[in-house]
Chain A
């Protein structure tokens, strides 16, 4: 190899190294952008929580009162109001999931164990999901076989039930049947929701945020795709599990949650050896 060849090879190697450096720099920049974008997203979700949720809760309770008042009087005004009310419920539902996702992602979840009535909660959820049941002729059967009042995290159980039911209502076939079973077994609370619908192919991704079975131009179902990710995060947080199985022509969502006897206790600590780290 003569001097010129060596020089040529050296120049080529240098040029390739420069190229590689550029690729690394671009990668580093992309990585930085990705981290920044994730941070902005979490920040945005936290802002939504503060700025949107409170006015909507206020408006919701006022309109609920007005809804019942106008319903008893009937008339054309009520029909128009009814449609507006359904839109408000839809908005409230979507926003509550954005808020819940923000709470999960900003690590501000708290476990608040209280005593509450699960049957009353189911009724409340039916009212909140009127927008999904309107004109759908879906038959719903409910079977609550546990104590009517239970100790658990009320708000999180509410969100779990709300989203599992919303998912069943949204994806069930018009005129078909949905069954909701809640029961206790071996110190666990089970929520089993069965709805007739197409087979869920990707049972894992369904819990990813913004994932929907049909996306882009083939998307036929509404919603943000946040509900089941919130459900999974809350179930995990409460120390439970969720499974999806197929039963003939139906999808069955089974949530298993711990049952608390009363306000959660720290169950060990008195019989331990101790050591202090200054």
Chain B
């Protein structure tokens, strides 16, 4: 029996038991991490690229959220050397590409994962369509539906 866990903006979830993590993205980005050997999956969903010292260090920001996700994966036994990443979202919705937060959200995911030497095996980012993603830890696959 596969559980379903829906996460919203500023949340993250790590699954050890068979789980499908679901979220909906516009300009937000979701980083999906997977440890194939232990079948541990983790997904975050963040709104803005960088925490600049204002307010609390909340998972609203890509650099904070992705670091927390990596720590949470390791805390339940995932091995950093085995973790692979897939990144989604960062669309430019309703506003011109230049002013969209989407591309900057994508860049933060890439930079943070690079700092931890986590390979990005799939990236389906940018564009101007919303995405609904379903991340299964049975095989690490991500099913993406695009808004029309």
Contacts and interface: CB of A to CB of B under 8 A. Distances in A.
Nearest to B139: A278
Interface residues of B, number: 36
A197 B116 CA distance: 49
Interface of A: 38, 42, 101, 104-107, 109-111, 204-205, 207-209, 229-230, 232-233, 236-237, 239, 264, 266, 268-269, 271-278
Chain B interface, >50% SS class: mixed
Nearest to A42: B57
A262 to B, nearest CB: 15
Interface of B: 6, 8-12, 22, 24, 44, 54-60, 64-65, 68-69, 72, 86, 122, 124, 130, 132, 139-148
B116 to A, nearest CB: 13
B10 to A, nearest CB: 5
Contacts of B144: 274-277
Contacts of B122: 277
6 contacts: A109-B11, A205-B54, A237-B58, A266-B132, A269-B132, A272-B148
Contact of B10 (A209, A230, A237, A278): A237
A105 B59 CA distance: 7
Given A271-B148, A272-B147, A276-B141, A107 B86 contact: no
Contacts of A111: 8, 11
Nearest to A205: B54
B10 A109 contact: yes
Given A111-B8, A111-B11, A269-B24, A275 B143 contact: yes
A269 B56 contact: no
A236 B60 contact: yes
A229 B143 contact: no
A233 B130 contact: no
A274 B145 contact: yes
Nearest to A271: B148
A67 to B, nearest CB: 33
Contacts of B58: 104-105, 107, 109, 233, 236-237
Nearest to B54: A208
Given A111-B11, A266-B24, A233 B148 contact: no
Contacts of B22: 266
B145 A101 contact: no
A269 B145 contact: yes
B10 A272 contact: no
Contacts of B147: 268, 271-272
A160 to B, nearest CB: 14
A123 to B, nearest CB: 29
Given A105-B57, A110-B11, 9 more contacts: A106-B68, A107-B11, A107-B59, A107-B68, A266-B6, A274-B143, A276-B143, A277-B86, A278-B139
Nearest to A229: B56
A151 to B, nearest CB: 15
B108 to A, nearest CB: 15
Nearest to A275: B144
